[in-house]
Chain A
Amino acid sequence: MAYVAIADQEHELHDPHSFVTKYIWSQDHKVIAIQYSVTAIVMGLFGMGLSMLMRLQLAYPDTFSFITPNAYYQHVTMHGMIMVIYLLTALFLGGFGNYLIPLMCGARDMVFPFMNMLSYWMYLLSVFLLMTSYFVPGGPTGAGWTLYPPQSILPGTPGFDWGIIMMLASLAVFIIAFTMGGLNYITTVLQARCRGMTLMRMPLSVWGIFVATIVGLLAFPALFVSAVMVGLDRLVGTSFFMPAILSAGQNLDYQGGSPLLFQHLFWFFGHPEVYIVALPVFGIVSDLLSCHARKNIFGYRMMVWAIVAIAALSFVVWAHHMFVSGMNPYFGFFFATTTLIIAIPTAIKVYNWVLTLWRGNIRYTVPMLFAIGFIFTFTNGGLTGLFLGNVTVDLPLSDTYFVVAHFHMVMGVSPVLVLFGAVYHWFPKITGKMFNENLARWHFWLTLLGTYAVYLPMHYIGILGVPRRYYATLGASFIPDSVQTVNVNITIAALTVAAAQSLFFINVIWSLMKGKPAGSNPWNATTLEWQTPDTPPKHGNWGPKLPEVYRWAYDYSVPGHSQDFIPQNEPPSSHSATASEHGRH
């Protein structure tokens, strides 16, 4: 029996009727996306609060007795894990992935809606398990987000008894949730694109999320493996990672385990993880720049290839996190080379973003401001990565604030700028209302300038040699008092940035209540999600008939057309420009 493509099937829509099935146990990808996003943002606020506590301790070391060394390391750990996994990964894939993929592909929903719903509740369960760490004896783990054994499961590290178990359990559940979501995203992109939507007609947002999901499905198992094994070392006394150890004067029962094995497994996951966050960001920012500059993304094919190349290369660079780990030093040659090679497709993307703006017709909308802010900060953060990837340069800089500044720039600042840009960009579609311009602009400026003020000087104290993960650096003779001044300034800037985020929340709430109606396509964008019959889109997205796509996602300012954009689902008209007028080929 011939199988009919999903797009052409008569789709039975099971419209939810009750409040509970519409907004709580919902299988609608848009609702699930918002559930993911709200949960992730709440976690992000909590993580931001933790970072403020850390900054307070660093700026005013002799002041807060509730920030003990144990507490400090617990904040460090929980901040890191929450931000990387529970905020960034969940928000970009679970939030944006869920919302955008069906809409941008012209589908009615994800292909496995029930599993999609389940993935959110599993995510929420993982959040619950993580937060339970605060209520178990000993509190959350303070082993650093990297959770390295042996110290993560030995006395001397806070949370070594219970907190680490809760963390590992939470991560295992998150990985299951991610797998469920990931299967959805991949299968939907492969199977449920509407008629005419070829892979190369998909917007880069979808490419970024799609490839990131593939990376995630292959990389998260490494975290699962290492988490299970370190959990067993802790709970039943196996010696996977635990060598002979003298703890508190006693020789423990462990023997022969390899802490380096954990590091290999962890970073085999950990490096691709940063691209799981970065690739959706790259895709989304391409679409923001293109739409608001009224110009096609420059070098679309190269952009797609670069995303795929970065994803593939991301699996062979992991040990640049281990240059000074004591691993076989000859590995340093290999990993420094692959790491610097991965800089090339990344650099191409940066050039193409700027070249998209070049000879464009740029509107300085709020999303565009954030997108340009991204280019500036990502260039900075990406360039400092070249220092750390080069094994010799990493030697003095490893475990200093240079590393902290680098990864915050590329993981914290740039993606978060795109995050806000994306929320402002799609806010009118999701809610049907426009946001408040003034508040949004203030939000942008304070965030961009504030975060730069936080992280620029941090690089330099790192070069000096100020180590990371230090509760107090006093007593190091090579660290002058001026560093303390830098710390204070960074803290003040950080507190300002944190406070400035309230503008975002005020804006969201105010606009939800009082925002102007937005219309279905206020930005005059070409991509499919703006062409829905209803705004916000209803269940099933497209009404009785699915859209049909006739062109790629970037027909902006096409010569010979009266409008400066052509939606993807607009059929070619009889007197439209022929292929030869569409630029050189």
Chain B
Amino acid sequence: MALAVVIVLLVIATVIFHFASPWWFTPLASNWGTVDNTVNITFWVTGTVFILVNFFLAYVVIKYRYRKDNQALYEPENKKLEGWLTGITAVGVAAMLAPGLFVWAKFVDVPDDAAEVEAVGQQWSWSFRYPGKDGVFGRVDPSLFSVDNLFGMSPDDPHGQDDILVEGNEVHLPVNKPVKFLLRSKDVLHNFAVAPFRAKMDLVPGMITYLWLTPTQTGSFDILCEELCGMAHFAMRGIVTVEEENEFQTWLAGQPTFAQVAASPKADAVTGQATFAVCAACHGVNGEGNQALNAPKTAGGEGWYLKRQLHSFKHGLRGVNEKDIYGMQMAPFAATLADDAAINNLVAYIEGLPNNPVQQTVTGDIERGRNLYANCGACHGMDGKGLWSQNAPRLAGVNDWYLIRQLQNFKQGVRGGQAGDGHGKQMVLMSVMLPSEQDMNDVVAYINTL
């Protein structure tokens, strides 16, 4: 009757759904195909049980429905039957467990020739470190973390000098070479997960955890954090790019070592002043901004943030989307800065400019904005003054019309949509929480009070 029919239909529908479903594992990009095999074995065993048990259930539901002249069988137990069922179940369980344990043994045992890469997780971004030519990671000392030493590298350890430091949420790997990821967290629990690799592992502050794999496909794959790490957990993303060995070496050579970072020449604000003359035309003589020319205030901005933005404009990470009219104007100006030294000098000069309050043009519901801002404050600081450790610039004292425009740009992916702009991408994700213009006005109106 109805229930039996429904059960049969549900089983059939489930089986059809299973085979018709486009949602299955992503194409495998690592050596862990044995994981997929174990999953498949499990599916076959459990699927068989699912079908058999439920078809039998449907059968008994029809056959043994109540009839007045009928009597149910009085059989308190049937040891033989129960014994057989227990035995068959045990066999089925062993059939699934055995391959699982075999593969796990491989996962636990890292090959000797695996190269090592360190993945550093923090709220809410990724950075990476390679051990460099000496193959040994330098010592990290948490007390040394600062805006100039994001990895907390100890200058006293010679092994650290050649460590290659990679910021910006992106890591590269050579294809077909085994690699062991050493996982370190600066603050809370995180998890390094790349779906096509199949492997994932938590990052635990206070210890180094690991996972290993051999990437087998070239391409770019998303890194997702998969251990709840706070409000922006969903926005903690990275990219792992797998490429041929020679491309990998080229990329690696372009990344700075700790020695290079530590030895960068001191920025010269006087040289920077000369460069600034060009900027002043739009941004104002004192970097105070000019709304009519759509140029935001740059005075009062953090050095590290200004450097990153100039770098982004210069290298096509920002200001390339055709809808980013004003961003596109910045690209040629950034191009006039020949190298990082030029950027550093310019920024050193800007840092010396007076930080005056801005005119407020946006109105909104400040109380509502306060509630919304509680989310932003986790990175940008509850006082809106920014947090270098969270890669979040100050918002207080920034032109409110500029904030609105950037929020809109983030929302549409006009900013933050470029490959390589990991921090921008994070803002695209965060902007999901502001569906309407009113929400943006409210939060910016609140920021104006900070």
Residues of A within 8 A of B (CB): 61-65, 67-70, 73, 142-144, 148, 150-151, 154-158, 243-249, 251, 256-260, 293-296, 298-302, 324-326, 329-330, 332-333, 336-337, 340-341, 343-344, 347-348, 350-352, 354-355, 357-364, 369, 372, 375-376, 379-380, 383-384, 386-387, 390-393, 395-396, 398-400, 448-449, 452, 456-457, 460-461, 463-465, 467, 469-478, 480, 482-483, 486, 554, 556-559, 564, 582-585
Closest to A249 in B: B389
Interface membership of B39, Cβ < 8 A: yes
Contact with A along B28-62 (1 / 0, CB 8 A): 00001011001100100110011001101100110
Interface membership of B428, Cβ < 8 A: yes
Cβ contact within 8 Å between B75 and A248 = no
Cβ contact within 8 Å between B193 and A391 = no
Cβ contact within 8 Å between B221 and A478 = yes
Q: A324-B202, A460-B23, A583-B76 are in contact. Are A361 and B64 (CB under 8 A)?
A: yes
> Which residues on A sit within 8 Å (CB–CB) of B381?
248
Cβ contact within 8 Å between B390 and A467 = no
Cβ contact within 8 Å between A559 and B64 = no
In the complex, A155 Cα to B374 Cα: how many Å?
11
Q: A293-B72, A475-B425 are in contact. Are A326 and B204 (CB under 8 A)?
A: yes
> Which residues on B sit within 8 Å (CB–CB) of A583?
74-76
Cβ contact within 8 Å between B24 and A69 = no
Closest to A445 in B: B6
- Further 13 A-B residue pairs, CB within 8 A, beyond A151-B228, A478-B196: A65-B439, A70-B231, A151-B229, A156-B229, A333-B104, A354-B56, A361-B71, A376-B54, A392-B101, A395-B200, A472-B235, A477-B220, A482-B22
Residues of B within 8 A of A (CB): 1, 3, 6-7, 10, 14, 17-18, 21-26, 32, 34-35, 38-39, 42, 45-46, 49-50, 53-54, 56-57, 60-61, 64-67, 70-78, 81-82, 85-86, 89-90, 93, 96-97, 99-101, 103-105, 107-108, 122-123, 142-143, 145, 147, 152, 183, 186-189, 191, 193, 195-196, 198-207, 209, 220-222, 224, 226-235, 237, 371-372, 374-375, 378, 381, 387-390, 425, 428-430, 432-436, 439
Q: What total count of A-B pairs have CB within 8 Å?
A: 375
Cβ contact within 8 Å between B97 and A336 = yes
Cβ contact within 8 Å between B205 and A69 = no
In the complex, A499 Cα to B285 Cα: how many Å?
63
> Which residues on B sit within 8 Å (CB–CB) of A352?
82
In the complex, A473 Cα to B224 Cα: how many Å?
10
Cβ contact within 8 Å between B73 and A359 = yes
In the complex, A148 Cα to B74 Cα: how many Å?
51
5 nearest A-B residue pairs (beta carbon)? A243-B206, A465-B195, A326-B209, A249-B389, A156-B230
Cβ contact within 8 Å between A325 and B202 = yes
Cβ contact within 8 Å between A68 and B371 = yes
Cβ contact within 8 Å between A452 and B10 = yes
Closest to A399 in B: B226
Cβ contact within 8 Å between B10 and A142 = no
Cβ contact within 8 Å between A62 and B435 = yes
Complex partner residue of B39 from A299, A347, A387, CB under 8 angstroms: A387
Cβ contact within 8 Å between B187 and A383 = no
Q: A302-B82, A359-B64, A461-B23 are in contact. Are A564 and B57 (CB under 8 A)?
A: no
> Which residues on B sit within 8 Å (CB–CB) of A299?
76-78, 82
Complex partner residue of B433 from A68, A247, A355, CB under 8 angstroms: A68
Q: A68-B374, A298-B78 are in contact. Are A564 and B435 (CB under 8 A)?
A: no
> Which residues on B sit within 8 Å (CB–CB) of A350?
53
Closest to A252 in B: B187
Q: A150-B187, A248-B389, A480-B22 are in contact. Are A364 and B1 (CB under 8 A)?
A: yes
Closest to A477 in B: B222
Q: A396-B25, A475-B425, A476-B224 are in contact. Are A245 and B372 (CB under 8 A)?
A: no
CB proximity of A447 to chain B, nearest CB, Å? 13
Cβ contact within 8 Å between A73 and B231 = yes
Closest to B374 in A: A70
Q: A150-B187, A243-B205, A244-B206 are in contact. Are A391 and B82 (CB under 8 A)?
A: no
CB proximity of B445 to chain A, nearest CB, Å? 14
Closest to B207 in A: A326
Cβ contact within 8 Å between B389 and A341 = no
> Which residues on A sit within 8 Å (CB–CB) of B228?
73, 143-144, 148, 151, 469
Closest to B99 in A: A392
In the complex, A355 Cα to B56 Cα: how many Å?
9
Cβ contact within 8 Å between A554 and B433 = no
Cβ contact within 8 Å between B231 and A157 = yes
Complex partner residue of B93 from A326, A341, A452, CB under 8 angstroms: A341
In the complex, A224 Cα to B71 Cα: how many Å?
52
In the complex, A70 Cα to B372 Cα: how many Å?
9
Cβ contact within 8 Å between B77 and A301 = yes
Complex partner residue of A247 from B3, B187, B195, CB under 8 angstroms: B187
In the complex, A585 Cα to B76 Cα: how many Å?
8
Q: A361-B66, A390-B38, A390-B97 are in contact. Are A348 and B201 (CB under 8 A)?
A: no
Closest to A64 in B: B435
In the complex, A158 Cα to B105 Cα: how many Å?
39
Q: A386-B46, A399-B191 are in contact. Are A460 and B21 (CB under 8 A)?
A: yes
Q: List 24 A-B contacts (CB under 8 A).
A: A62-B432, A67-B433, A148-B189, A150-B188, A245-B188, A247-B123, A251-B145, A259-B189, A294-B66, A340-B97, A348-B82, A348-B85, A352-B82, A359-B60, A361-B67, A379-B49, A393-B38, A393-B42, A400-B226, A473-B234, A477-B220, A478-B195, A554-B76, A556-B74
